[in-house]
Amino acid sequence: MPESPSLWIQARERGLIMAVRTGAQFLKGLQDNREVWLEGERVEDVTTHPKLSRMAQTLASVYDLQHDAKYHQDMVFKSPSSGEPVGTCGIGVVDKALDPQSMAQTDREQ
């Protein structure tokens, strides 16, 4: 969370901080008729496009990490203005979570 409330408000207003959502909610949010072009062609749906869907799924899995008890405390904080859970960037947590060794360990635990 930014150090001062005014920085937090600025970040929130610019869309840099958003409420916690699931990967499925993230993917549905991408299906909003946004204009995306790739290699000179309009992409109708980034979630199903052969060259973009894997990245969309990867980002969705990061959103799902916010709901994993193992990472929730590091990836979510209580909004000072609304009291709602808000996602942090969680870069260090995401790096660790997506580290091949960590993922292999998680696979073995399941």
pLDDT of res. 83: 78
Distance (Å, rounded) from C-alpha 19 to C-alpha 2? 15
Range of weakest confidence among 25-39, 41-55, 76-90, 92-106: 92-106
Phi, psi of 49, deg, nearest 5 = -65, 135
Question: Given pLDDT bands bounded at 50, 70 and 90, which one contains residue 50?
Answer: very high
Mean pLDDT within 66-81:
83
Mean pLDDT within 67-81:
82
Question: Given pLDDT bands bounded at 50, 70 and 90, which one contains residue 1?
Answer: very low
